[in-house]
Amino acid sequence: MSALRREEERSTENPDEPIISLKRGPHSEPWHPRTMAAPLVYKVAIIGARQTGKSCIANRLVSRTFDAQYRPTRMISQLFWRHFDESIGSDVLVELEDTPAIDIGSGSTATPKQLKNVEQLLKPLMWFEKFRKERDVKKAVGVSETDALLEDGSPRVAAAANKKRGKNGPAGIAGKACTLGSRLGGSKSSGITADGKMNPIAADRKRMGFVIVADVTDFTTFDVAYALVDRIFDRLQFDVGDSIICPVSIVIVGNKADMRSKRQVPDEKELQDQIHAQYSNKNNDPSNNVIYVECSAQTNYQVEEIFKASLRRIRQLPARSRIRTARMRVTGLCGRIKRNLYGYCPFMFDVEDFIKQRIKKYVKPCIRRMGLYAILCECAPLVIIVKRIKQLWRVFLTFRWLCNWCPSFILRLRKEVTADEQDKAVEDLERALEGGAKKKEDEDEDD
């Protein structure tokens, strides 16, 4: 009976029902006007190579339309997909970031400009990151928290509606019903307001996953997809050998699956096994860090399955404390003790953050007033000595596997390295020594 009632409720829902916000500020949340209940909101970025069908997939999902004419995406746009999730028995709202195409091959062939574009694309905060550096927090010029709102706090709508509200007074909930895009003064699917300003809500909501779109009729787009996965791993400080799965949801999509005669990659099952084997970690459950799904935006084949798979993975993501523990790149006995302590006592991260904030707020100003900061932190000889000690420590950590004469407690920390890592470490050391010798010769010539 409950299942039948749920089905009736779903059938009466309007898929184009507008989403509005009744809270001010960049941290406001979308609300359903029918139930006035806050839905669960997930943010997923759609990225990939040129002409792979990123916008077509987003439009097919949101507006159920397909445009065969190619129109390159010039700037990031914002779309919303409302979905009833049977696993939790409630509505969820997925914010889709439709991004411009990325031109990048393998890491060795990518140009500095391409790498910079990818870095800029992956710069926004992820869901588990609490703080943003001060230089990244600066607001866009002319953007205000209430720019997209009227004086009474209600969202902006069409000009006619504004005039009507001015004559008849503030409207009720029905008058406030509009899309989130129109609430911000822009179009339905854009993250830009009518004044050409960035949508503050879209900019401040944190990402929870990536959908990397490739084209099964062009094998080079999969090279771009693999390169983007590597860049995302670098951005997250994640490795497949870590004790957790990837902290965000990553789905590689093979679009244009209906064009079988032009296919340039293996079939779906074989390609899925290859991707899972490439990015799997058998010590974790689930073991696959990257999911592969094929679809066709033209025929609407498995388009919804892409984002359903992404939502399922988002619910399997590890807790924030486990992610921070796995990102601690520590070595030695003290490092292992710290990692275990923080793993069993997650509140230690909050204690560490509290201590750092207090040091920044009280200790550093006190040291500056006492005149000790210039001696400890701005004294050139002392800074050079500390820098040299750090270099020697790094050399010791790199070559400690050579020190057979070291005490037993040092030998227990012996580092296992491959022959390639050994050759690279030797080359880096020789290069550093040559650079130091050359610099000394130049100084002698100047004298």
Block mean pLDDT (10 aa), the chain, length 447: 46 44 45 54 91 92 88 86 82 89 65 82 84 44 36 39 40 33 35 48 77 94 92 89 89 94 92 91 79 93 93 89 81 78 86 88 85 73 81 68 58 60 71 67 61
CB distance 182 to 190 below 8 Å: no
**Among candidates 218, 213, 194, 201, which has minimal Cα distance to 49?**
213
Q: Is 296 left (phi over 0), alpha (psi -120 to 50) or beta?
A: beta
Two structure tokens written together for 96: 């889709």
Under a CB-based contact definition with an 8 Å cutoff, are residues 206 and 44 in contact?
no
Strand, helix or coil at 103? coil
> Which residues are 91's β-sheet partners?
84
What pLDDT sits at residue 344?
85
Q: What's the pLDDT score for residue 225? A: 93
Q: Would you call 188 helix, strand, or coil by DSSP? A: coil
Give me the pLDDT at residue 167, please.
42
Residue 377 CB coordination number (10 Å): 13
Q: Report the pLDDT value the prediction gives residue 294, as an integer from 0 to 100.
A: 95
Q: Name, in order, each residue with C-beta under 8 angstroms of 253's C-beta and a sequence gap of 6 or more.
A: 48, 57, 211, 212, 213, 214, 292, 293, 294, 295, 306
CA pair distance 193, 436, nearest whole angstrom: 54
Looking at this protein, which amino acid is placed at residue 231? Answer: R
What is the spatial distance between Cα 299 and Cα 309, in angstroms, rounded to a whole number? Answer: 19
Q: Please, are residues 227 and 110 in contact by the beta-carbon 8 Å criterion?
A: yes
| Residue 261 DSSP class | G
Question: H or E segment at 387?
Answer: helix 380-399
Which token pair is 33?
């006007």
What is the rounded distance in angstroms from the CA atom of residue 214 to the CA atom of residue 212? 7
Distance of CA 13 to the CA centre of its chain: 32
| 8 A C-beta contact, residue 224 and residue 48 | yes
pLDDT at residue 152 in the model: 42
Decide if 3 contacts 11 (C-beta within 8 A).
no
Q: In what order do the strands lie in the sheet with 209-215?
A: 77-85, 90-98, 40-48, 209-215, 249-255, 291-294
